[in-house]
Amino acid sequence: GVCRVIEEKCTECGQCVDGCPVTALELPKVSSAETTVAEATENETVKPQQQDKPAEKAVQLKGELAAYQGVWVFIEQREGIVAPVSLELLGAGRQLADKLGVELCGVLLGDQVSGLVNMLYEYGADKVYLAEHPLLHFYRTETYMKIFVELVQQYKPEIILMGATTTGRDLAGAVATDLATGLTADCTGLDIDLEQRLLLATRPAFGGNIMATILCKKHRPQMATVRPKVMKMAAPVPGRRGELIISEVNLQEEKLLTKVLEIVKEQGEQVNLQEAEIIVAGGRGLGDRENFRKLCFGLAEAIGGKVGASRAAVEAGWIEQKYQVGQTGVTVAPKIYFALGISGAIQHLVGIRGSDIIIAINSDPEAPIFKECTYGIVGDVFTIVPLLIEQLKEKGG
Ligand code: FAD
Protein backbone atom coordinates (compact mmCIF):
# COMPACT_ATOMS: atom_id res chain seq x y z
CA GLY A 1 0.00 0.00 0.00
CA VAL A 2 2.97 2.37 -0.28
CA CYS A 3 3.26 4.66 -3.33
CA ARG A 4 6.76 5.52 -4.42
CA VAL A 5 8.66 7.07 -7.26
CA ILE A 6 11.02 4.68 -9.09
CA GLU A 7 14.31 6.40 -8.37
CA GLU A 8 16.20 5.16 -11.44
CA LYS A 9 13.53 6.56 -13.75
CA CYS A 10 12.94 9.84 -11.93
CA THR A 11 13.91 13.04 -13.76
CA GLU A 12 12.75 15.25 -10.85
CA CYS A 13 10.24 17.01 -13.10
CA GLY A 14 7.67 16.94 -10.28
CA GLN A 15 4.73 16.15 -12.58
CA CYS A 16 3.78 13.01 -10.68
CA VAL A 17 3.74 14.92 -7.38
CA ASP A 18 1.46 17.60 -8.79
CA GLY A 19 -0.74 15.03 -10.53
CA CYS A 20 -1.20 12.55 -7.68
CA PRO A 21 -4.86 12.89 -6.54
CA VAL A 22 -4.06 11.72 -3.01
CA THR A 23 -0.83 13.71 -2.58
CA ALA A 24 0.98 10.49 -1.80
CA LEU A 25 4.17 11.12 -3.74
CA GLU A 26 7.42 12.87 -3.00
CA LEU A 27 10.51 13.27 -5.14
CA PRO A 28 13.10 10.83 -3.80
CA LYS A 29 16.19 12.86 -4.63
CA VAL A 30 15.18 16.00 -2.79
CA SER A 31 13.60 14.42 0.27
CA SER A 32 16.88 14.08 2.23
CA ALA A 33 17.88 10.56 3.22
CA GLU A 34 14.37 9.32 3.88
CA THR A 35 12.62 6.75 1.71
CA THR A 36 9.56 7.99 -0.17
CA VAL A 37 6.30 6.87 1.35
CA ALA A 38 2.64 7.74 1.37
CA GLU A 39 2.12 10.82 3.49
CA ALA A 40 -0.86 10.88 5.79
CA THR A 41 -1.31 14.58 6.17
CA GLU A 42 -4.82 15.12 4.97
CA ASN A 43 -4.70 18.81 5.72
CA GLU A 44 -1.79 19.67 3.53
CA THR A 45 -0.77 19.43 -0.08
CA VAL A 46 2.66 17.87 -0.34
CA LYS A 47 4.72 19.99 -2.72
CA PRO A 48 8.03 19.04 -4.29
CA GLN A 49 10.61 20.34 -1.87
CA GLN A 50 12.78 22.45 -4.08
CA GLN A 51 13.58 24.96 -1.33
CA ASP A 52 17.08 25.70 -0.10
CA LYS A 53 19.06 23.39 2.15
CA PRO A 54 16.73 20.44 2.57
CA ALA A 55 19.23 18.70 4.86
CA GLU A 56 19.14 21.58 7.33
CA LYS A 57 15.34 21.59 7.30
CA ALA A 58 15.29 17.84 7.90
CA VAL A 59 17.51 18.17 10.98
CA GLN A 60 15.33 20.95 12.37
CA LEU A 61 12.19 18.88 11.73
CA LYS A 62 13.72 15.84 13.41
CA GLY A 63 14.48 17.93 16.49
CA GLU A 64 10.92 19.26 16.70
CA LEU A 65 9.39 15.81 16.26
CA ALA A 66 11.64 14.27 18.91
CA ALA A 67 10.06 16.57 21.51
CA TYR A 68 6.89 14.47 21.16
CA GLN A 69 6.89 11.34 23.34
CA GLY A 70 4.34 8.83 24.55
CA VAL A 71 1.14 7.15 23.39
CA TRP A 72 -2.25 8.63 24.33
CA VAL A 73 -5.68 7.07 24.24
CA PHE A 74 -8.79 9.25 24.40
CA ILE A 75 -11.06 7.69 27.01
CA GLU A 76 -14.59 8.18 25.78
CA GLN A 77 -17.27 8.08 28.45
CA ARG A 78 -20.96 8.85 28.56
CA GLU A 79 -22.71 9.32 31.89
CA GLY A 80 -19.67 7.81 33.59
CA ILE A 81 -19.62 4.64 31.48
CA VAL A 82 -16.42 4.12 29.53
CA ALA A 83 -16.87 3.11 25.88
CA PRO A 84 -15.44 -0.43 25.46
CA VAL A 85 -13.44 0.75 22.43
CA SER A 86 -11.36 2.98 24.72
CA LEU A 87 -10.34 -0.05 26.77
CA GLU A 88 -9.60 -1.98 23.56
CA LEU A 89 -7.35 0.90 22.50
CA LEU A 90 -5.54 0.89 25.83
CA GLY A 91 -4.59 -2.72 24.97
CA ALA A 92 -3.41 -1.75 21.48
CA GLY A 93 -1.72 1.40 22.81
CA ARG A 94 0.13 -0.63 25.45
CA GLN A 95 1.81 -2.68 22.73
CA LEU A 96 2.82 0.43 20.78
CA ALA A 97 4.13 2.14 23.93
CA ASP A 98 6.16 -0.94 24.90
CA LYS A 99 7.71 -1.13 21.44
CA LEU A 100 8.68 2.54 21.64
CA GLY A 101 9.73 2.31 25.28
CA VAL A 102 7.41 5.17 26.30
CA GLU A 103 4.45 5.74 28.60
CA LEU A 104 0.86 4.88 27.76
CA CYS A 105 -1.53 7.61 28.91
CA GLY A 106 -5.31 7.79 29.08
CA VAL A 107 -6.96 11.17 28.56
CA LEU A 108 -10.23 11.40 30.46
CA LEU A 109 -12.55 14.38 30.05
CA GLY A 110 -15.92 14.74 31.77
CA ASP A 111 -17.81 15.84 34.84
CA GLN A 112 -17.13 13.93 38.06
CA VAL A 113 -15.46 11.03 36.30
CA SER A 114 -12.43 10.58 38.55
CA GLY A 115 -13.93 7.29 39.77
CA LEU A 116 -12.95 5.77 36.41
CA VAL A 117 -9.24 6.49 36.73
CA ASN A 118 -8.16 3.30 38.55
CA MET A 119 -9.85 1.17 35.92
CA LEU A 120 -7.71 2.84 33.24
CA TYR A 121 -4.50 1.87 35.05
CA GLU A 122 -5.82 -1.68 35.30
CA TYR A 123 -6.36 -1.75 31.54
CA GLY A 124 -2.78 -0.64 30.90
CA ALA A 125 -2.41 3.15 31.33
CA ASP A 126 0.76 4.32 33.12
CA LYS A 127 -0.63 7.82 33.47
CA VAL A 128 -4.04 9.45 33.28
CA TYR A 129 -4.66 13.07 32.33
CA LEU A 130 -7.93 14.06 33.96
CA ALA A 131 -9.93 17.16 33.04
CA GLU A 132 -13.17 17.62 35.00
CA HIS A 133 -15.70 20.41 34.66
CA PRO A 134 -19.52 20.64 34.65
CA LEU A 135 -19.32 21.93 31.06
CA LEU A 136 -17.62 18.69 30.04
CA HIS A 137 -20.63 16.66 31.19
CA PHE A 138 -21.99 16.30 27.66
CA TYR A 139 -19.70 15.97 24.68
CA ARG A 140 -19.37 19.13 22.66
CA THR A 141 -16.79 19.43 19.90
CA GLU A 142 -15.83 22.91 21.03
CA THR A 143 -15.12 22.15 24.68
CA TYR A 144 -13.52 18.74 24.24
CA MET A 145 -11.35 19.94 21.37
CA LYS A 146 -10.15 22.98 23.32
CA ILE A 147 -9.14 20.96 26.38
CA PHE A 148 -7.63 18.12 24.36
CA VAL A 149 -5.58 20.45 22.17
CA GLU A 150 -4.30 22.33 25.22
CA LEU A 151 -3.17 19.04 26.76
CA VAL A 152 -1.40 18.01 23.55
CA GLN A 153 0.38 21.35 23.32
CA GLN A 154 1.50 21.10 26.92
CA TYR A 155 2.55 17.45 27.11
CA LYS A 156 3.34 16.61 23.45
CA PRO A 157 2.41 12.96 22.82
CA GLU A 158 3.76 11.29 19.68
CA ILE A 159 0.69 9.10 19.05
CA ILE A 160 -3.01 9.64 19.81
CA LEU A 161 -5.60 6.88 19.41
CA MET A 162 -9.37 7.39 19.50
CA GLY A 163 -12.33 5.08 18.96
CA ALA A 164 -14.04 5.51 15.58
CA THR A 165 -17.36 6.18 17.30
CA THR A 166 -19.55 9.18 16.56
CA THR A 167 -17.77 11.13 19.30
CA GLY A 168 -14.27 9.84 18.52
CA ARG A 169 -14.55 10.55 14.82
CA ASP A 170 -15.76 14.06 15.52
CA LEU A 171 -13.12 14.86 18.11
CA ALA A 172 -10.23 13.29 16.18
CA GLY A 173 -11.01 15.32 13.06
CA ALA A 174 -11.34 18.55 15.02
CA VAL A 175 -8.14 18.00 17.03
CA ALA A 176 -6.10 16.98 13.97
CA THR A 177 -7.31 20.03 12.07
CA ASP A 178 -6.51 22.39 14.91
CA LEU A 179 -3.05 20.90 15.41
CA ALA A 180 -2.48 20.66 11.63
CA THR A 181 -1.36 17.07 11.87
CA GLY A 182 -2.18 13.80 10.09
CA LEU A 183 -5.06 11.52 11.02
CA THR A 184 -5.68 8.02 9.67
CA ALA A 185 -9.30 7.03 10.18
CA ASP A 186 -10.75 3.54 10.71
CA CYS A 187 -7.48 1.68 11.04
CA THR A 188 -7.57 -2.10 11.06
CA GLY A 189 -3.97 -2.53 12.19
CA LEU A 190 -1.45 -0.47 14.19
CA ASP A 191 2.26 -1.07 14.55
CA ILE A 192 5.55 0.75 14.97
CA ASP A 193 8.46 1.15 12.58
CA LEU A 194 11.18 1.33 15.19
CA GLU A 195 13.92 2.42 12.83
CA GLN A 196 12.02 5.55 11.80
CA ARG A 197 10.03 5.75 15.05
CA LEU A 198 6.79 6.00 13.11
CA LEU A 199 3.26 4.76 13.62
CA LEU A 200 2.23 2.31 10.90
CA ALA A 201 -1.49 2.83 10.48
CA THR A 202 -3.08 0.22 8.23
CA ARG A 203 -6.54 0.57 6.71
CA PRO A 204 -8.43 -0.46 3.58
CA ALA A 205 -8.09 2.08 0.77
CA PHE A 206 -9.49 2.64 -2.71
CA GLY A 207 -12.84 1.02 -1.90
CA GLY A 208 -11.19 -1.75 0.08
CA ASN A 209 -9.20 -3.06 -2.87
CA ILE A 210 -5.85 -2.53 -1.19
CA MET A 211 -4.63 -2.32 2.38
CA ALA A 212 -2.64 0.89 2.76
CA THR A 213 -0.12 1.48 5.51
CA ILE A 214 -0.14 5.19 6.15
CA LEU A 215 2.66 7.16 7.78
CA CYS A 216 2.72 10.65 9.19
CA LYS A 217 6.36 11.57 8.84
CA LYS A 218 6.51 15.31 9.27
CA HIS A 219 3.88 16.20 11.81
CA ARG A 220 3.13 15.35 15.40
CA PRO A 221 1.19 13.89 17.03
CA GLN A 222 0.41 10.95 14.73
CA MET A 223 -3.32 10.34 15.05
CA ALA A 224 -5.47 7.29 14.30
CA THR A 225 -9.02 6.15 14.92
CA VAL A 226 -10.02 2.50 15.24
CA ARG A 227 -13.55 1.10 15.14
CA PRO A 228 -14.98 -0.80 18.10
CA LYS A 229 -14.16 -4.51 18.18
CA VAL A 230 -11.24 -4.28 15.76
CA MET A 231 -8.69 -4.55 18.59
CA LYS A 232 -9.10 -7.20 21.26
CA MET A 233 -9.53 -5.88 24.79
CA ALA A 234 -6.60 -6.88 27.03
CA ALA A 235 -7.34 -8.55 30.37
CA PRO A 236 -7.26 -5.99 33.20
CA VAL A 237 -4.67 -6.32 35.97
CA PRO A 238 -6.59 -5.73 39.22
CA GLY A 239 -4.82 -3.33 41.56
CA ARG A 240 -2.43 -1.95 38.90
CA ARG A 241 -1.90 1.76 39.52
CA GLY A 242 -0.33 4.75 37.78
CA GLU A 243 0.15 8.47 37.93
CA LEU A 244 -2.69 10.99 37.85
CA ILE A 245 -2.21 14.41 36.25
CA ILE A 246 -5.13 16.70 36.99
CA SER A 247 -5.57 19.40 34.43
CA GLU A 248 -7.08 22.76 35.24
CA VAL A 249 -10.12 23.50 33.10
CA ASN A 250 -11.03 27.00 32.15
CA LEU A 251 -14.43 27.07 30.43
CA GLN A 252 -17.32 29.53 30.54
CA GLU A 253 -20.74 28.73 29.14
CA GLU A 254 -21.28 32.26 27.79
CA LYS A 255 -18.14 31.97 25.68
CA LEU A 256 -19.29 28.76 23.99
CA LEU A 257 -20.96 28.86 20.61
CA THR A 258 -22.95 25.63 21.03
CA LYS A 259 -25.52 24.84 23.71
CA VAL A 260 -26.87 21.45 24.70
CA LEU A 261 -30.63 21.95 24.95
CA GLU A 262 -31.79 18.38 25.28
CA ILE A 263 -30.45 14.85 24.86
CA VAL A 264 -32.92 12.71 22.93
CA LYS A 265 -32.40 8.95 23.09
CA GLU A 266 -32.88 7.07 19.81
CA GLN A 267 -36.24 5.39 19.60
CA GLY A 268 -36.90 1.99 18.10
CA GLU A 269 -35.10 -1.30 18.26
CA GLN A 270 -31.46 -1.08 19.28
CA VAL A 271 -29.21 -3.21 17.14
CA ASN A 272 -26.01 -4.06 18.88
CA LEU A 273 -24.25 -6.29 16.40
CA GLN A 274 -20.86 -5.39 17.81
CA GLU A 275 -21.62 -7.21 21.03
CA ALA A 276 -23.44 -10.19 19.44
CA GLU A 277 -21.96 -13.66 19.98
CA ILE A 278 -23.73 -15.23 17.01
CA ILE A 279 -24.67 -13.39 13.83
CA VAL A 280 -26.66 -14.76 10.91
CA ALA A 281 -26.01 -12.46 7.96
CA GLY A 282 -27.73 -12.64 4.61
CA GLY A 283 -26.82 -11.36 1.17
CA ARG A 284 -28.19 -11.00 -2.33
CA GLY A 285 -28.24 -14.79 -2.71
CA LEU A 286 -31.38 -14.90 -0.54
CA GLY A 287 -33.30 -13.61 -3.53
CA ASP A 288 -35.97 -11.39 -2.04
CA ARG A 289 -37.13 -9.68 1.13
CA GLU A 290 -39.45 -12.48 2.18
CA ASN A 291 -36.78 -15.17 1.90
CA PHE A 292 -34.22 -12.94 3.59
CA ARG A 293 -36.55 -12.51 6.56
CA LYS A 294 -37.60 -16.17 6.66
CA LEU A 295 -34.09 -17.65 6.47
CA CYS A 296 -32.01 -15.09 8.37
CA PHE A 297 -34.44 -14.36 11.17
CA GLY A 298 -35.49 -18.04 11.25
CA LEU A 299 -31.94 -19.29 11.73
CA ALA A 300 -31.04 -16.45 14.11
CA GLU A 301 -34.03 -17.25 16.28
CA ALA A 302 -33.31 -21.01 16.25
CA ILE A 303 -29.67 -20.55 17.26
CA GLY A 304 -30.08 -17.50 19.53
CA GLY A 305 -28.25 -15.02 17.32
CA LYS A 306 -28.69 -11.56 15.80
CA VAL A 307 -29.31 -10.77 12.14
CA GLY A 308 -26.82 -8.93 9.94
CA ALA A 309 -26.69 -8.15 6.22
CA SER A 310 -24.46 -7.39 3.28
CA ARG A 311 -24.75 -4.03 1.57
CA ALA A 312 -26.50 -5.67 -1.38
CA ALA A 313 -29.30 -6.86 0.94
CA VAL A 314 -29.56 -3.41 2.53
CA GLU A 315 -29.62 -1.66 -0.83
CA ALA A 316 -32.34 -4.03 -2.03
CA GLY A 317 -34.45 -2.72 0.86
CA TRP A 318 -34.73 -6.08 2.61
CA ILE A 319 -33.41 -4.71 5.91
CA GLU A 320 -32.34 -1.38 7.42
CA GLN A 321 -28.83 0.05 7.08
CA LYS A 322 -28.07 -0.34 10.78
CA TYR A 323 -27.81 -4.10 10.17
CA GLN A 324 -25.12 -3.73 7.50
CA VAL A 325 -21.83 -5.43 8.23
CA GLY A 326 -18.59 -4.29 6.59
CA GLN A 327 -16.53 -1.31 5.67
CA THR A 328 -19.45 1.12 5.56
CA GLY A 329 -21.46 -0.79 8.13
CA VAL A 330 -20.40 -2.20 11.49
CA THR A 331 -17.33 -4.26 12.31
CA VAL A 332 -18.30 -7.38 14.20
CA ALA A 333 -16.43 -10.02 16.18
CA PRO A 334 -18.89 -12.77 17.13
CA LYS A 335 -18.04 -16.31 18.12
CA ILE A 336 -19.94 -17.57 15.05
CA TYR A 337 -20.72 -15.63 11.88
CA PHE A 338 -23.04 -17.21 9.32
CA ALA A 339 -22.77 -15.79 5.79
CA LEU A 340 -25.83 -16.90 3.79
CA GLY A 341 -25.71 -16.09 0.08
CA ILE A 342 -22.91 -13.56 0.58
CA SER A 343 -20.11 -13.58 -2.01
CA GLY A 344 -17.37 -12.26 0.29
CA ALA A 345 -16.43 -8.92 -1.26
CA ILE A 346 -13.45 -7.30 0.46
CA GLN A 347 -15.67 -4.52 1.85
CA HIS A 348 -17.75 -7.16 3.60
CA LEU A 349 -14.79 -9.24 4.74
CA VAL A 350 -13.02 -6.36 6.52
CA GLY A 351 -16.02 -6.17 8.84
CA ILE A 352 -16.05 -9.84 9.84
CA ARG A 353 -12.39 -10.83 10.19
CA GLY A 354 -12.56 -10.63 13.98
CA SER A 355 -15.07 -13.51 14.07
CA ASP A 356 -13.88 -16.72 15.74
CA ILE A 357 -15.72 -18.98 13.30
CA ILE A 358 -17.16 -18.04 9.90
CA ILE A 359 -19.64 -20.46 8.33
CA ALA A 360 -20.45 -19.73 4.70
CA ILE A 361 -23.27 -21.19 2.63
CA ASN A 362 -23.03 -20.33 -1.03
CA SER A 363 -23.98 -22.13 -4.25
CA ASP A 364 -20.87 -20.91 -6.09
CA PRO A 365 -17.78 -22.95 -5.14
CA GLU A 366 -15.60 -20.10 -6.47
CA ALA A 367 -17.15 -17.46 -4.18
CA PRO A 368 -14.37 -15.52 -2.38
CA ILE A 369 -16.05 -16.10 0.99
CA PHE A 370 -14.79 -19.70 0.85
CA LYS A 371 -11.20 -18.45 1.07
CA GLU A 372 -11.98 -16.71 4.37
CA CYS A 373 -14.43 -18.99 6.11
CA THR A 374 -13.74 -21.63 8.77
CA TYR A 375 -16.43 -23.95 7.41
CA GLY A 376 -17.87 -23.69 3.91
CA ILE A 377 -20.97 -25.38 2.55
CA VAL A 378 -21.34 -25.30 -1.23
CA GLY A 379 -25.05 -25.47 -1.82
CA ASP A 380 -28.43 -23.81 -2.06
CA VAL A 381 -29.47 -21.69 0.94
CA PHE A 382 -33.10 -22.53 0.28
CA THR A 383 -32.38 -26.22 0.86
CA ILE A 384 -29.73 -26.04 3.59
CA VAL A 385 -30.98 -23.30 5.89
CA PRO A 386 -34.50 -24.74 6.45
CA LEU A 387 -32.86 -28.08 7.30
CA LEU A 388 -30.55 -26.35 9.77
CA ILE A 389 -33.46 -24.51 11.38
CA GLU A 390 -35.41 -27.75 11.66
CA GLN A 391 -32.49 -29.62 13.25
CA LEU A 392 -31.78 -26.80 15.72
CA LYS A 393 -35.44 -26.59 16.71
CA GLU A 394 -35.57 -30.36 17.25
CA LYS A 395 -32.51 -30.14 19.48
CA GLY A 396 -34.08 -27.22 21.35
CA GLY A 397 -31.66 -24.56 19.92
P1 FAD B 1 -23.27 -10.64 -4.25
O2 FAD B 1 -21.87 -10.24 -4.39
O3 FAD B 1 -24.19 -10.47 -5.43
O4 FAD B 1 -23.26 -12.17 -3.83
C5 FAD B 1 -24.39 -12.98 -3.74
C6 FAD B 1 -23.91 -14.40 -3.51
O7 FAD B 1 -25.01 -15.25 -3.30
C8 FAD B 1 -23.10 -14.98 -4.67
O9 FAD B 1 -21.84 -15.40 -4.21
C10 FAD B 1 -23.94 -16.16 -5.13
O11 FAD B 1 -23.14 -17.26 -5.53
C12 FAD B 1 -24.72 -16.49 -3.91
N13 FAD B 1 -25.98 -17.17 -4.17
C14 FAD B 1 -26.92 -16.87 -5.11
N15 FAD B 1 -27.98 -17.69 -5.02
C16 FAD B 1 -27.71 -18.55 -4.00
C17 FAD B 1 -28.41 -19.62 -3.40
N18 FAD B 1 -29.61 -19.97 -3.82
N19 FAD B 1 -27.81 -20.29 -2.38
C20 FAD B 1 -26.59 -19.94 -1.94
N21 FAD B 1 -25.88 -18.92 -2.44
C22 FAD B 1 -26.45 -18.23 -3.45
N23 FAD B 1 -20.68 -4.55 1.16
C24 FAD B 1 -20.98 -4.97 2.39
O25 FAD B 1 -21.52 -6.08 2.59
N26 FAD B 1 -20.74 -4.16 3.47
C27 FAD B 1 -20.16 -2.94 3.35
O28 FAD B 1 -19.97 -2.26 4.37
C29 FAD B 1 -19.79 -2.49 2.05
N30 FAD B 1 -19.18 -1.31 1.88
C31 FAD B 1 -18.79 -0.94 0.63
C32 FAD B 1 -18.06 0.25 0.44
C33 FAD B 1 -17.64 0.61 -0.82
C34 FAD B 1 -16.84 1.88 -0.96
C35 FAD B 1 -17.94 -0.22 -1.93
C36 FAD B 1 -17.47 0.15 -3.30
C37 FAD B 1 -18.66 -1.37 -1.77
C38 FAD B 1 -19.10 -1.76 -0.50
N39 FAD B 1 -19.81 -2.94 -0.30
C40 FAD B 1 -20.10 -3.33 0.97
C41 FAD B 1 -20.35 -3.71 -1.44
C42 FAD B 1 -19.52 -4.93 -1.79
O43 FAD B 1 -18.52 -4.59 -2.70
C44 FAD B 1 -20.40 -6.01 -2.45
O45 FAD B 1 -21.03 -5.46 -3.57
C46 FAD B 1 -21.46 -6.58 -1.51
O47 FAD B 1 -20.88 -6.99 -0.30
C48 FAD B 1 -22.12 -7.78 -2.19
O49 FAD B 1 -23.14 -8.28 -1.40
P50 FAD B 1 -23.55 -9.81 -1.51
O51 FAD B 1 -22.40 -10.69 -1.18
O52 FAD B 1 -24.80 -9.97 -0.72
O53 FAD B 1 -23.98 -9.92 -3.05
Tens place of pLDDT for every residue, the chain, 397 residues? Answer: 456 788 888 888 888 887 776 677 787 754 443 333 344 444 343 444 444 466 776 677 777 888 999 999 999 999 999 999 999 999 999 999 999 999 999 999 999 999 999 999 999 999 999 999 999 999 999 999 999 999 999 999 999 999 999 999 999 999 999 999 999 999 999 999 999 999 999 998 876 678 899 999 999 999 999 999 899 899 999 999 999 999 999 999 999 999 989 888 766 667 789 889 999 999 999 999 999 999 999 999 999 999 999 999 999 999 999 999 999 999 999 999 999 999 999 999 999 998 999 999 999 999 999 999 999 999 999 999 999 999 998 876 4
How many Å apart are CA 293 and CA 323, to the nearest integer? 13
Ligand 1 lined by 143 (C-beta under 6 Å): no
Sign of the CA dihedral 332, 338, 339, 344?
Answer: positive
Q: Which atom of ligand 1 lies at the shortest distance from residue 287's CA?
A: 15
Q: Please write down the HEC assignment for all residues of 102-121.
A: CCEEEEEEECCCHHHHHHHH
Q: Rounded to two decimals, what is the model's pTM?
A: 0.68
Classify the complex by whether its ipTM is higher than 0.95, answering yes or no. Answer: yes
Sheet of 306-309, strands arranged across: 306-309, 278-282, 336-340, 357-362, 375-378
Q: Which atom of ligand 1 lies at the shortest distance from residue 339's CA?
A: 51
Tell me the three state secondary structure of residue 166: helix
Q: Which atom of ligand 1 lies at the shortest distance from residue 327's CA?
A: 28
Distance 345 CA to ligand 1 centre (A): 6
- H or E element in which residue 187 lies: strand 183-187
Pocket probe for ligand 1: among 296, 314, 315, 327, the residue whose CB has the most ligand atoms within 8 Å is 327
Pocket probe for ligand 1: among 284, 384, 385, the residue whose CB has the most ligand atoms within 8 Å is 284
| Cα 181-184-189 angle, rounded to 5 deg | 135
Ligand 1 lined by 329 (C-beta under 6 Å): yes
